[in-house]
Structure 1
Amino acid sequence: ESIFVIDYPLYFTPNGDGTNDTWNIEGIGSNAIIYIFDRYGKLLKQLSPDGEGWNGTFNGNALPTSDYWFTVEYDEPSTGQRKEFKANFTLKR
């Protein structure tokens, strides 16, 4: 039986030092869509796993240190069935 693991960063630190400056999920397929939300459920960003990732801003303003939630819609590799995964990560300033 095969198992598909979604390995996502638990935190990122967009401080311009070149390390962990953006958040994204790699290896989940090019047709996956990632939605990032604040703690109140407001959609902040929609991105592709093939893109540059999220830099921790909304409308050009840096967001504060907090937990942020995401939903990723992806195709299950073994069945091709569209699935959804939800979890959270931390933005540290």
Structure 2
Amino acid sequence: MKIKEAVKKIRLGQYRSFCPLKRKDELGAMSHELFEMSGQMEERPAQMKKEEKLNEAWDTLKELERKQKRLIGSIGHEFKTPLTVMKAYVDLMDGGSGQDF
């Protein structure tokens, strides 16, 4: 009868709220396994939350990496444009020889 009560408590979310039977037979082994299984069931929601937070952190990291690449590309473009204009003016002032420095 104790195993039936333990199962009922587990069903109600009262994990590990019972002591396994101290018997050396199959009922004792089953009671002990039920106790261990209920403990794992109790820990699973916390583990799932940790995994969810890790997934969110990973997604955030990927998004930041994408933004960083876009920013670096924009900065590179912003530097190249004035340098190209300056080089064109230098080439014009140099008589249009087209030689590099």
| Shorter-chain TM-score tier | under 0.3
- Normalised to the residue count of structure 1, the TM-score between the two structures is 0.21
- Normalised to the residue count of structure 2, the TM-score between the two structures is 0.20
The structure with the largest helix share of the pair is 2
**Structure label with greater radius of gyration:** 2
The structure with the largest strand share of the pair is 1
